[in-house]
Copies of this chain bind each other. A is one copy, B any other.
Amino acid sequence: MALSHCWVDGVELTAVPADDRGLNYADGAFETLWCEQGVIECLPLHRERLGRALQVLRFAQPLEVAYRMFSAAEAHLATITHCGSARLTVTRGSGPRGYSPPSKTSPRYVLSTTPLSVDPALPARCGFAAVSWAEQPQLAGMKLLARTEQVLAAQEAMERGWDDAIMLDGGGLVVSSSRGNIFIFKQGKFVTPALSRCGIAGTRRQLLMATVLPELGFEVIERAISPEEVASAEGLLISNALRGAQPVISLNERAYDLNAMPVSRIQTALRECAASCAG
């Protein structure tokens, strides 16, 4: 098994300057990646989302920066033939005290790897988190560094003995789990929350919606979902880059029949789709 590695701006290092604006103001974004034999799955989707995040943060030349950082990440991960998860963080770089970014900034990247084996088929026991998403329509969908609410929801899940927690927005509508997007299965169709006020628009959510589920013959609808609708659905899936599509076996006292949806067909199709989207 490969060891963990960490590179900071091209150098194998395990520290970042204390004046990094990512640390001081959460001024940056990141991508969680899945790699097979040194190849980043869904690279174009991750790069595009990172570019959009840097654009929203008004980095100079955001798309070029995302491209450059991903090229570096690709090269590092290929060198070590990495299998497992990797994280690419891009911050605004170092800066003096104060919210205002320096007029000339040098974005910094941190690339770290974790040799990780997760079994995506392992069904998750879940509950509803007490903490809700912060609502910010102007930044919805982005994977910025500011992840306080998901940390609190994950902590709550751990303390309550759940594998993951389902999170709502401030208005009480369902958004996601603490670490992935969700899809409910209902009358032969999949429904996933619209992420107009908060949430992260996942790369695997994108594949499931645009390709995987339609190709398996399922309609996918994006709209508002209430907690009651999740609890009364026939099935519930959580998607992210590391686990693919993970079925939920229980949500508080509600138990789901794992045979209500063709879980392994979806998982296989998503895995194949992600592997073929290695840009």
Interface of A with B (CB < 8 Å)?
6, 8, 13-27, 30, 32, 57-58, 85, 87, 89, 91, 96-101, 103, 110, 112, 114, 116, 131-139, 144-155, 157-158, 170, 178-179
CB of A134 within 8 A of CB of B139, answer: yes
CB of B112 within 8 A of CB of A18, answer: yes
**Beyond A26-B148, A58-B152, A149-B136, is A158–B16 a contact (Cβ under 8 Å)?**
no
CB of A158 within 8 A of CB of B19, answer: no
CB of A23 within 8 A of CB of B89, answer: yes
Q: Which of B17, B133, B151 contacts A15 (CB 8 A)?
A: B17
CB of A170 within 8 A of CB of B58, answer: no
Residues from chain B with Cβ under 8 Å of A96 in the complex: 114
**Beyond A24-B145, A138-B132, A146-B26, is A18–B98 a contact (Cβ under 8 Å)?**
no
The answer for the CA separation of A26 and B30 in the assembled complex, in Å, is 12
The answer for the CA separation of A96 and B139 in the assembled complex, in Å, is 26
Interface of A is mostly: mixed
Q: A26-B148, A96-B114, A99-B154 are in contact. List 15 more A-B contacts (CB 8 A).
A: A6-B19, A16-B18, A18-B110, A24-B89, A26-B145, A57-B148, A57-B151, A58-B155, A85-B97, A97-B112, A99-B153, A100-B157, A103-B158, A134-B135, A146-B148
CB of A136 within 8 A of CB of B100, answer: no
CB of A148 within 8 A of CB of B19, answer: no
Q: Which of B20, B100, B138, B152 contacts A154 (CB 8 A)?
A: B100
Residues from chain B with Cβ under 8 Å of A21 in the complex: 151
Q: How far is the CB of A11 from chain B (nearest CB, A)?
A: 11
Q: How far is the CB of A92 from chain B (nearest CB, A)?
A: 8
Residue on B nearest A116 in the bound complex, by CB: B97
Ranked nearest first, the 4 interchain pairs of A and B with the lowest CB-CB distance are A146-B146, A134-B136, A99-B154, A26-B26
Residue on B nearest A144 in the bound complex, by CB: B148
Residues from chain B with Cβ under 8 Å of A6 in the complex: 18-19
**Beyond A135-B135, A146-B148, is A101–B26 a contact (Cβ under 8 Å)?**
no
